[in-house]
Amino acid sequence: MPKVSSVSVPYATYLRVYEPLGAFPEPERTHWARYARRPDRPSYQDELHRSLAGLLPTPPIAVPVHESSDAFVLEVDGVICVCPWRTRLRGWQALDELTEELPAPVLDAVLPPVVRRQVAQDYERWLARNPDARPWIRTATWQVPLNWFVLVSDEERRYEKGTHEVPPMLRYRTPMVQARRRVARGLRALKDAVDEGPLIDGLVDVGRWLEEFHPRSLVELDYGGLVHILPAGALEDDHSAADVAEGIEALRHGDGATAGEAYGRLVERWRSVRDLRSAN
């Protein structure tokens, strides 16, 4: 499962859910309604900068002391939709997975054991009071998980080259009902073709996560910080969602050769990103 992290890095990608105001109970609904009217709402980069700032003190602040009251806001067909940051919750969940990803000496250097123990105790107490809590944002580093591309279509892709002052942007946005429908279709095709695998497991996981949100929500896949390391030509030519859709459609029709070609394009494209990660 991709990290849902406040311990962000500049090369992170994001899967976000924006829920309509009506999906939030009071008094949270009123808070977000007022928040949406603010002219000075923080940006995507502001969230990244704040999360990185927590790693500078000694010892580092692995998880914020208080939950964020900020969110990303969109207007969809005249309806205000909100994606709360929930930075504290995402930080706890990320640290829970970080222990499985980093070698012990590296982990101890980044986050000393005493810090991790305190964080784990805080999370355990908080989770006992909030057993149904879930984040609105998922994060992955140095990649876009292939199962995320199943949720969107190439027609929903938006790419902007950027300027000297504004970085490039590559993202997809799709209605929740479409994302859920694509998950179901993708799972049927994959399970008919293969017994098991990481793509199926990831798709099951992200599908369960989507079911926790309002059916009129909006799902956003954002390349985030990856746009800073990928050449402009690579970004412009990146149609990974189309390749994933082609591969799944080929599997549905029993066309293993076409599915293999689509998968090969994906492997080649994302191998270059992994090579950049190794170089860093």
From first to last of its 280 residues, what are the pLDDT tens digits of the chain?
343 333 334 578 999 999 999 999 999 999 999 999 998 898 777 776 666 555 545 556 667 777 788 999 999 999 999 999 988 888 777 777 677 667 788 778 778 888 888 888 888 888 888 877 889 999 888 889 999 999 999 999 999 988 888 888 999 999 999 999 999 999 999 999 887 888 899 999 999 999 999 999 999 999 998 888 888 788 999 999 999 999 999 999 999 999 999 999 998 888 878 777 666 6
- With residue 86 as reference, give the H or E element that holds it: none
User: What are the counts of helices (DSSP H) followed by strands (DSSP E) for the chain?
Assistant: 11, 7
pTM above the 0.95 mark?
no
- With contact defined as beta carbons under 8 Å apart, do 33 and 162 qualify? no
User: Is 159 within a domain?
Assistant: yes
Residue 5 inside a domain? The answer is no
- Write out the residue range of the structural domain in which residue 266 sits: 12-279
Number of domains, the chain: 1
Residue type (1 letter), 54: G
Q: Is 82 in contact with 34 (CB distance < 8 Å)?
A: no
6 falls within a domain: no
Domain presence at residue 241: yes
Residue 140 is inside which H or E element, if any?
strand 137-141
**Residue 243, CA atoms < 13 Å, CB-side half-sphere:** 18
**Cis peptide bond upstream of 59, omega within 30:** yes
Inside any domain, residue 180: yes
